[in-house]
Structure 1
Amino acid sequence: MGTRARRLWIVALVALFLLYLVGTLVPSAQDSVTAALGEWPTSVAAGAAGLSLLYASRRWAATGADRDAHADGADGPSALRHLGFAALAWCAGGVTHGLIRLFSSATALSLTLGDLFALAALPLFVIGFTKFAPWPGGLRTAVRHVTDSYVCAAAVFSVVWLLLFSPLYQELGEGAGFLGFALVYPVADIVVLCLLVPLVFMSPHSTRRAVLVAIGALIVIAGADILGALTRLTGPPFLGGVEHPVRFLGFALLGALPWLVEHRPGTDPRRITGRGLYRFAPELAAIGAVFAAAVVLTVAGVRLVGVAPVLPLAAGTAVVVLLVRMVGMLEENATLSRMVRNREVHFHELARNSGDVILVLDRDGGVNYVSPGTAEAFGYRLDDVLAAPVTALIHPEDLGRTKAVTDLFSERGAQGVHMRLRVRAADGTWRHTESTMSLYEQPGEPDRLLVTTRDISAQVALQDEVEHLTFHDGVTGLPNRAYLEERASDVLAHRVINEEPAGEVAVIFLDLDGFTAVNDSAGHVRGDHLLGQAARRLRGEVDSDATLARWGGDEFAVLVENVPRVQRVVDLAERLGRVIASEPFPVADRDIMLTASIGVAFAEQVTDSGELLRNADVAMTRAKERGAGHVEVYAAHMHDTVVSRLELQIRLREALAKDEFFLEYQPVVDLGSSQVTSVEALVRWDRDGERVGPEDFIGAAEESGLIVPLGERILREACEKVAVWRLSDWDIGLSVNLSVKQVLSPRFVESVAGILAESGLPAEVLTLEVDEEVLLDDGGEAVQRLGELRELGVRLAIDDYGMGYASLAHLRRLSVDAIKIDPSFVADLGRDDTVTLLTHTIIQLGRDLGVQVVAEGIERSEQLEQLRAMGCDHGQGFLVARPMPASGVESLVGGEAGVSL
């Protein structure tokens, strides 16, 4: 209901009350008919109030207007319904009174059916009121509330008696029965009011206005009942019969309740009462009423005339109720005492069985109690702990924090403070502990501190170990990549803040050349052992102002701070390279020589640690490209080179997915008969219509690992093509190049065998060419796999023989079927006597070993003649035949005329 409509209701109620009051005070006949008619308007008002409340109850239930009240335990529709029934009971009582006075000669002080209806309205009113303002707590609290309310009612009635009824009682001189009939309404009203008024202060915020209107209506009705009682005792209407308009006002106010306080959806349902003194509203009401009664008695001179029989009865019953209340309080106190004792016993039992140390301290740090677990946890006897202040056991560095916490408890009464302390054990060691402090309150005793402490030394040690493992490498014991990155970031940030020259910071990246082959062949365990040896060598060369870390894999990094000059860092990088290559690394039963490729980068204008580390990595990559054992200092153009190579690797991956690679075949001919005996499969790349040779992408394919799937595709396609040619009775062989990564890749031998089986190509027709570096595989795994291929019948050839590290001793490790002379030897035939002699020696070596010798790169006729003269069996080159597509080979071989030489 809006504010304007509510104001109209209030104005209408006031107007009706004043109109009725004026009409009542006008002199009129005092016969029974007139007296009876005087109650009809109040009965009509009570009935209208009942109908209004019942209608509003249904309306509230249908619209859910009281949903906020439900959150606080109130039930609006039920409250209105019971208040409506109460109003209808009052209406029934008034109507019955009127009818009795019209048709009966009953005396004014006889108890009639109308009185029973009126009295029955009060319980209904109480039920409805408590739906708006629920009883606090459980049954015990409700009983305590009722007893306090009765004491309050006895005191209030005593005051009313002394002020209003005592003089009339003396004048009338009637007996107790006469008095009882006259005061039944006031007594009942006062009891109910004293019962309900305290609930007003504990009612939910959402129903507070309804509670106030309801209690206001009851107070008005009670006032009318007191005026009615005075009328019954005096005979003629008291104050001219003003009780009727007063009662009319009470019923009108009750009927207007739902319209004056109608809920709006969204009303804030917060309960703002039930805290502080509001919790003691019944007790405070009783105390206030008793105090008021005492004041009245004192003002009256404590005269006992006119007191009996009411005051003795009121006082006696109040005393009985107080005794009941005291018995309840004693029982509650006994219960509370048992609870305190049980909790104390429970506390000591928990402390006794707990693995933690539990102490009770006074404000000065003295130990009042210590749990038995102390001896097990820290090795102390209980008497030793109780005899000394707890501060004697705390680490001196932690005493300041401890004092701050205890001061906090003293000043603010803090609760549940957690802190970590170091505590000295009986053996003198410092234990890491975790403690919780809280107030320990006992009735009748000063507040103390309850401290629960547990030993977390093992947990701290584990955390330290985890932190160490997080920032250190488990293989070498060196700081790891995460530590170096964080340290580099801190160093550069510190120099920026302090405006120090960043050029005084440098990073060295070091990569062990050839370690991957060792790790793949000898195994990871032996590879880790080698890394540990390398780390110890490097650690011996790095000063204390530098940080050596394992970056990952076979890479190490050094962060150098306070660089006095550039050359010092370069000298350190060269020393690191020399210490790696100075002597072999013993691995199992072999000695392995390694070198290191090293990159150096200076901070200079760089303020980002990530960029500095990247620059050192780029320089290291450049050093590897130059060959094993080099040192490179970062320059800006290196980054562009690395980026280009990364982009090439990405493009290669896309090309492999899009099948952009194709094969060409270069014939190998018998130099004696000029007949084509085999072809070498050569891969080409069609990049967006541009023909790209292998020299431009094979290196990137090796670095990225794409050489493995690419090599498998080349082998499969070449085998299938040659197998088709051989179905046409062409006796032609196939040569395919392999890289070391292909040979060492998982299931390589099984892959070759599968391709041969699927294509139908005989194994003895296939020749797999490998570089001389395969013979340097110290682990022997590559040689072993090639031996397994030879057992399948596959022929093996050493490609580019003469330019690497292959020797007769190395050739003994792997039986081969052919050696291919490096094109650089063939190019200088007839021009360089030494090269010519070496070439002749290689050819003679092949003949002596019984292997086929193939000369590569024949481009001039004089080279061909000299090779024939030296007894070289086979050859290939631009003079013999250029690489060609499969159709060209078919034309060349299908003509059966051979190659014109």
Structure 2
Amino acid sequence: MNGRRDPRVSLIAAAGLGAAVIAAALIAGGSDTAVTAVAGLVSGLLAAVSLVAASTRSTSVHRGEAVAWRWLAGGALTWLFGIGVRPVAAGTAFVLTFADLLLLVGSLLLMIGCWLTAVPPPQRRGVFRQATEAYLGAASIFAITWALLLGPMAERAEDAGAFYFTLALPVLCLLAACAVAPKVAVSRAANRAVGLAGLLVLAAITMAELATAVTRLNGEQSPTLVAGLVAPAAFLLLAVAPWIEEGSRGRVPARLRAAATPMPVVAATPYALVAAATVVVGADVFARGPALTIVVASVLAVLLVRLMVLMLSADGLRNQMAISERQLHQLAADTGDVVLMCDNEGTVQEISAGVEETYGYDPVELTGKSIFDYLHPEDVPGIQVQLRRMIEDESPQRYGTCRIECRVRAADGTWRPTESVATRHVRHEDLVLVTTRDVSDQVALRNQVTHLTFHDGVTGLPNRAYFEERTREVLPRASRPAVIFLDLDGFTGVNDSVGHASGDYLLGQAARRLRAAVRADDTLARWGGDEFAVLLESGGDAQLAVDLAERLVRAVSADPFRVADRDIALTASVGVAFAEDETSPGDLLRNADVAMARAKGLGGRRVEVFAAHMHADAVRRLEIAADLQRALLEKQFVIEYQPIVDLATNRVTAVEALVRWCRGGTFVPPEQFLDAAEETGLIVPLSEWILTEACGEVATWRASSWDIGLALNLSKRQITAPGFVETISAALADSGLPPSALTLEVIEEMLVEDAGDTVEKLSELRELGVRLAIDDFGTGYASLAFLRQLPVDMIKIDPSFVTGLGRDETLTLLTRTIVRLGHDLGLTVVAEGIERPEQLELLREMGCSRGQGYLVARPMGAQGVDSLMRTNLTSLQNTA
């Protein structure tokens, strides 16, 4: 508590004090008029003050409530003044005094306040209905009062005009009370208690004024004390009502605060009063004088008018319902829907003509038959449950409508997918209205979209998304499933040579071959590009998966593919991975991909089964690739030069540029990063940097009158890179190195793969004046053919031949043959890998032109080459 006094306590205490004052006046023995006046003044003032205070001080009162309470306060004050003036005006000769007018105005203000406190229910009634019901209620009450009380007094009255004028005020108060009573009774407002208290005040004023009128007609000065205290007592309740309501808001549930008298009870009240009035009046209704006759006649007239209005409204509603029904049928016909009416057992009572166009049935033929006879047997139990729930449940707003998806048998025997809406009939609870739509086209379109989403448009096989989803479904429940990845070797050049359309046609042929090779329960999908994947749901024995993988390799490479009037021979690289206990779907697919990459890296046309070290190697290659990219940016690469010596004169004729990677102060062997650079494409910028640096260095040496050449190795990616020839030409021009001083080396395998494009680009370089050499000569299988097609200047004998010189007669013979072949073709022959003196002696004896190796000179930096250029190799002379 904060120490502040609650105003509700003060006002309720004031009401109690007012009651005490009235009781004191009674005990003191004052006149009835004085007691009534005091009671009226005290209670009216308390009511006005209480309502104004509640409307301004209460934080829970809405603005509309505050306005209504101020109207009630104004009515209480006006009535208070009327009560105060009435004793003064009682001695006048007028039937209705100024005080009566104040009392009438006060009653009207109270009526407006009561009206404003009421919040109507969602089902509002029209003004005409409210007015007629108010009049019927007031007229019925007046008729009963007339028959029981006022009729005999009217017969004894000497002045009929004065008699009726005297009754005017209570009659008008009665009309005011009856006008607001229905609205206040059904109100759902939180301040409903205030409205009811105001209505009670109006009723009390009506009773008090009726008592006053009867007193005047009897020639007495004032009504009885009990009749005079009815209105003050009601005003005391009105004074307390807003504060009691405010104090109970936090404790009474909202649903109880908002509860109201049911609408049917309120609507029936005027007619019950009419019935009661009819019983009271009886057969001699016209014997009590013209007033009762007029009232009864007016009641009958109002009832007749009301009945006529109801009939017209009902007829209008019937017409509107008929129009709506026709519009509904027309709408159903326009949209192609079938509308039918059936009973709770599913028997068709009525069906629209659209059933003949949609399903091929005559409407007359279906009437009287069960709809379940035309539904798919698998769908019937579920539909029966839905309809039973909708029909039997007591909450129509919940189960009044249900959606049904099922298959309907058409007259041609086909099953049509449909969507239906079943609704309980508004007027007939034993009937169900069903609207059915054929959705065959939508289902077909949805299936087509699903197929396109999960299937490849080129091969017709499931696509990668479907394969991944299928793997996730199978892996938890299958017994050691396996995944096979397959890549078509050599497919890259197909699109370039015969076009993408022919390439897609080839992929379609490959898909048909692979589909014929797999088992029926295996999932074959196109993974992407020229890669395919197979999921063996029941891998079981590992040998079965390996056998299937080898069968796929044979299916691809057995016969050439016929594309664009030419035969194209392809092979396949296949990787196999098996699921272990803790293998996730993503890891299983990755493992198969890694195994396939290894098979391709080993030359293709082979099957590799995944092992743990393959993944480690793949990760290491990725790490090396990232480090390579960083090394390019940080310039961690250096160039070393290995001299090439004229074996006859012991003079250095050229140097071969070799790249070295210095990572953290340690040199990384070339075999550990060159393959990764080739795979990632970093070999292209790396080779361009080597070319620029080496050309500039050798050009500087040549500017000092050193006749020395430069040899560089070319990679496959470097040759196929865009602008390859232009890059070589630009490097020569920028450095000033003559093209004849540059020798570019290629291995035999590069001449075999993509021979046309490679030979074309090398020929362009040859036209620039650049010299060409075949590196590692003798290890390939197409060298002689390309020696005739490509103007080669030099061949370099592979170190594997030089290593066996003097120890292996076969290798010695092969080396001698290569040297003789080079001389016969007019080519310069260079022997690589010279490490022992006997190798050098034999090569000189065979007539080999040049050589390089650790015995001749090790790779060295640019400063080492500077000193080597000016002297003969004395070590060579000594070994000679």
TM range (shorter): 0.7 to 0.9
Q: How many residues align?
A: 870
Contact kept, 8 Å, 2:484 with 2:576, in 1: the verdict is yes
Q: Cα–Cα, structure 1 residues 527 and 137, in superposed 2: closer, same or farther, change >3 Å? A: closer
| Alignment of 1:42 onto 2:40 | yes
The residue aligned with 1:215 is 199
Report the Cα offset of residue 696 of structure 1: 1.0
1:262 is displaced (CA, Å) by 4.2
Give, in whole Å, the separation in 1 of the partners of 2:743 and 2:367: 90
Query: Which range is displaced more, 820-829 or 522-531?
Result: 522-531
> Per-residue deviation at 1:148?
0.9
1:66 aligns with 2:61: yes
Matches of 2:416 and 2:871, distance apart in 1: 93
Report the more deviating stretch, 224-233 or 614-623: 614-623
Cα distance in 2, alignment partners of residues 405 and 37 from structure 1 = 72
Contact 1:431 1:457 in 2 (8 A): yes
What SS does the corresponding residue of 1:835 show, helix, strand or coil?
A: helix
- What is the rounded CA distance, in whole Å, between the counterparts of 1:741 and 1:26 in structure 2? 124
Using the TM superposition, give the Cα deviation of residue 533 of structure 1 relative to its aligned residue in structure 2, in angstroms: 3.4
Q: Which moved more, 1:260-269 or 1:867-876?
A: 260-269
Deviation at 1:803, TM superposition (A): 0.8
Q: CA, structure 1 residues 256+870, in 2 after alignment: closer, same or farther (shift >3 Å)?
A: same
Distance change in 2, residues 1:138/1:751 (3 Å): farther
Q: Deviations over 1:809-835 (max 9, x none)?
A: 233444434332212122223333332
Counterpart for residue 406 of structure 2: 421
1:797 and 1:819 in contact (8 A); partners too: yes
Instruction: From 197, 212, 219, give the equivalent of 1:228.
Output: 212
Alignment root-mean-square deviation, CA: 3.9
Q: How does 1:389-468 map to 2 (within 5 A)?
A: 390-391=371-372, 393-412=374-393, 414-441=399-426, 447-454=431-438, 456-468=439-451
Q: Is the Cα contact below 8 Å between 1:669 and 1:677 reproduced in 2?
A: yes
Mapped partners of 1:285, 1:119: distance in 2: 26
1:325 correspondence with 2:306: yes
Match for 1:80 among 63, 69, 78? 69
After superposition, the Cα gap between the structure-2 partners of 1:3 and 1:482, relative to the gap in structure 1 and judged at 3 Å, is farther
The change in CA–CA distance for 1:223 and 1:629 in structure 2 (over 3 A counts) is same
Deviates further, 598-607 or 793-802: 598-607
User: 1:173-223 deviations in whole A, cap 9, x for unaligned?
Assistant: 344323323323322222222222222333234222332332233333333
State whether residues 424 and 430 of structure 1, in contact with CA within 8 Å, keep that contact through their aligned partners in structure 2: yes
Amino acid paired to 1:19: V
CA distance in 1, matches of 2:760, 2:185: 96
Amino acid at match of 2:192: R
Task: Note if contact 2:55-2:70 (Cα within 8 Å) is conserved in structure 1.
Answer: yes
Structure 1 equivalent of residue 324 of structure 2: 343
Q: Which amino acid aligns with 2:676?
A: A
Match of 2:714 in 1: 738
Structure 1 residue 152 corresponds to structure 2 residue 145: no
Specify every segment of 5 or more residues in structure 2 that has no aligned partner in the other structure, as ranges: none
Residue 268 of structure 2 is aligned with which of 284, 304, 327? 284
Aligned to 1:418, the other structure's residue is in SS state strand
Aligned mates of 1:576, 1:721 — CA distance in 2:
53
Q: Kindly state the Cα deviation for residue 453 of structure 1 after the two structures are TM-superposed.
A: 0.8
Partner of 2:165: 181
Shift of 1:333: 1.5
1:731 and 1:347 map into 2 onto residues whose CA distance is 101
Q: For residues 736 and 424 of structure 2, what CA distance do their matches in structure 1 show?
A: 89
2:668 is equivalent to residue 692 of structure 1 = yes
Change (3 A) 1:532 1:866: farther
Give secondary structure in 1 for the equivalent of 2:476.
helix
Question: CA separation in 2, counterparts of 1:783 and 1:897?
Answer: 38
From 858, 880, 888, the equivalent of 2:864 is 888
> 1: distance between equivalents of 2:508 and 2:767?
38
CA offset at residue 694 of structure 1? Answer: 1.0
Matches of 2:136 and 2:307, distance apart in 1: 13
Q: Does the CA contact (< 8 Å) of 1:393 and 1:423 recur in 2?
A: yes
Report the Cα distance in structure 1 between the residues aligned to 2:169 and 2:56, rounded to whole angstroms: 31
Asked if 1:117 corresponds to 2:102, the answer is: yes
Contact 1:13–1:249 (8 Å) recurs in 2:
no
In 2, Cα distance between the equivalents of 1:719 and 1:589?
Answer: 46
2:457 equivalent among 474, 482, 490 = 474
Q: For structure 1, list consecutive stretches of 5 or more residues without a partner in the other structure.
A: 496-501
Q: 2:116 aligned to 131, 146, 171, which one? A: 131
Paired AA for residue 39 in structure 1: A
- Amino acid of the residue matched to residue 648 of structure 1? I
| Matching residue of 1:293 | 277
In structure 2, do the counterparts of structure 1 residues 132 and 510 end up closer, same or farther at CA, with 3 Å as the change threshold?
same
- Is 1:241 matched up with 2:236? no
What one-letter code is carried by the residue in structure 2 that aligns with 1:342? I
Name 1:498's counterpart in structure 2: none
From the superposition, tell whether residues 595 and 79 of structure 1 become closer, same or farther in structure 2 (CA, over 3 Å). Answer: same
Q: CA deviation at 1:451?
A: 1.4
Rounded to whole Å, the distance in 1 between the matches of 2:232 and 2:259 is 36
**Distance in 1 between the 2:173 and 2:492 partners?**
102
Indicate whether 1:679 and 2:681 are aligned: no
Q: 1-side partners of 2:170 and 2:822: how far apart?
A: 136
Give the secondary-structure state (helix, strand or coil) at the position aligned to 2:68: helix
Tell me, yes or no, if structure 1 residue 664 matches structure 2 residue 640.
Answer: yes
1:766-805 matches, cutoff 5 A: 766-778=742-754, 780-805=756-781
Q: Is the 8 A contact 1:424 1:431 kept in 2?
A: yes
Indicate conservation of the 8 Å contact 2:121/2:188, yes or no. Answer: no
**1:312 paired residue number:** 293
Aligned residue number for residue 499 of structure 1: none
Q: Distance in 2 between matches of 1:864 and 1:355?
A: 96
Shift of 1:606: 5.0
Alpha-carbon separation, structure 2, partners of 1:613 and 1:539: 20
Deviations 1:618-641, CA, capped at 9 Å, x for gaps: 444444455434434444444444
Deviation of 1:691 after TM superposition, in Å, equals: 0.8
Superposition pairs of residues 479-518 of structure 1, within 5 angstroms: 479-495=462-478, 502-503=479-480, 505-516=481-492, 518=494
Alignment check: 8 A CA contact 1:50 1:83 kept = yes
Counterpart in the other structure of 2:190:
206
Aligned-pair CA distance for 1:340:
0.9
Q: Pick from 103, 106, 114: which aligns with 2:92?
A: 106
Q: Is the 8 A contact 1:66 1:263 kept in 2?
A: no
| TM-superposed deviation, 1:672 | 3.9
Q: TM-score, normalised by structure 1?
A: 0.85
Asked if residue 573 in structure 1 is aligned to residue 549 in structure 2, the reply is yes
Task: Report the Cα distance in structure 2 between the residues aligned to 1:819 and 1:737, rounded to whole angstroms.
Answer: 13
Percent identity among equivalent residues? 47
After alignment, is 532-541 or 3-12 more displaced?
3-12
The question of whether the paired residues in 1 share the 8 Å contact of 2:655 and 2:711 is answered with yes
Amino acid at match of 1:411: E
- Which of 830, 833, 837 matches 2:809? 833
Q: How far apart, CA to CA, are the structure 2 residues paired with 1:706 and 1:307?
A: 120
Q: Is the 8 A contact 2:25 2:35 kept in 1?
A: no
The answer to whether the 8 A contact 1:47-1:87 is kept is yes
Q: Provide the rounded CA distance (Å) in 2 between the counterparts of 1:553 and 1:199.
A: 78
Instruction: Find the counterpart in structure 1 of residue 81 from structure 2.
Output: 92
After TM superposition, the score normalised by the length of structure 2 is 0.87
Shift of 1:740: 1.7
Q: Matched residues in 1 for 2:118 and 2:522: separation?
A: 78
Q: What residue is the counterpart of 1:706 in the other structure? A: 682
CA gap 1:277/1:203 in 2 versus in 1, 3 angstroms: closer
Distance in 2, Cα, partners of 1:419 & 1:816: 80
Give the AA of the match of 1:76: E
Task: Report the residue type matching 2:392 in the other structure.
Answer: E
Q: Which amino acid aligns with 1:346?
A: Q
Question: How far 1:18 sits from its partner (Å)?
Answer: 4.5
Of stretches 378-387 and 339-348 in structure 1, the one that deviates more from structure 2 is 378-387
- Relative to structure 1, is the Cα distance of residues 564 and 446 closer, same or farther in structure 2, using a 3 angstrom cutoff? closer
Offset at residue 371 of structure 1 (A): 4.9
Quote the Cα distance in structure 1 between the aligned partners of 2:443 and 2:347. 28
Give the CA deviation at 1:150.
Answer: 1.5
Local SS of the residue matching 2:180: helix
